[in-house]
Chains A and B, each alone.
Chain A
Amino acid sequence: GQNIDQPTEMTATEGAIVQINCTYQTSGFNGLFWYQQHAGEAPTFLSYNVLDGLEEKGRFSSFLSRSKGYSYLLLKELQMKDSASYLCAGRGTGRRALTFGSGTRLQVQP
Chain B
Amino acid sequence: EAGVAQSPRYKIIEKRQSVAFWCNPISGHATLYWYQQILGQGPKLLIQFQNNGVVDDSQLPKDRFSAERLKGVDSTLKIQPAKLEDSAVYLCASSLDTSGRNEQFFGPGTRLTVL
What are the interface flags for A83-109 relative to B under an 8 Å C-beta threshold, 1 for contact and 0 otherwise?
Answer: 000010101000111111111000000
A-B contacts at CB below 8 angstroms, number: 49
A7 at the interface (CB under 8 A from B): no
Q: What residues of A have a CB within 8 angstroms of the CB of B109 in the complex?
A: 42
- Tell me how many residues of A have a C-beta within 8 Å of chain B: 22
A48 at the interface (CB under 8 A from B): yes
What are the interface flags for B52-79 relative to A under an 8 Å C-beta threshold, 1 for contact and 0 otherwise?
Answer: 0001100000000000000000000000
A13 at the interface (CB under 8 A from B): no
**Cross-chain pairs A/B with CB under 8 angstroms, 15 sampled:** A31-B102, A41-B108, A42-B106, A42-B109, A43-B43, A45-B104, A45-B105, A50-B101, A96-B56, A97-B45, A97-B56, A98-B104, A101-B42, A102-B40, A102-B42
Nearest chain-B residue to A87 (Cβ)? B42
Nearest chain-A residue to B4 (Cβ)? A42
Q: What residues of A have a CB within 8 angstroms of the CB of B105 in the complex?
A: 45
Query: What band does the interface of chain B fall in when counting residues whose beta carbon is under 8 Å from A?
Result: 20 to 34
Which residues does B use to contact A, with CB under 8 Å?
A: 33, 40-45, 48, 50, 55-56, 91, 98, 101-109
A44 at the interface (CB under 8 A from B): yes
How far, in angstroms, from A44 to B46 measured CA to CA in the complex? 19
Residues B98 and A95 in contact, CB atoms below 8 Å apart: yes
Of the listed residues B43, B45, B56, B98, the one surrounded by the most CB atoms of chain A closer than 10 A to its CB is B43
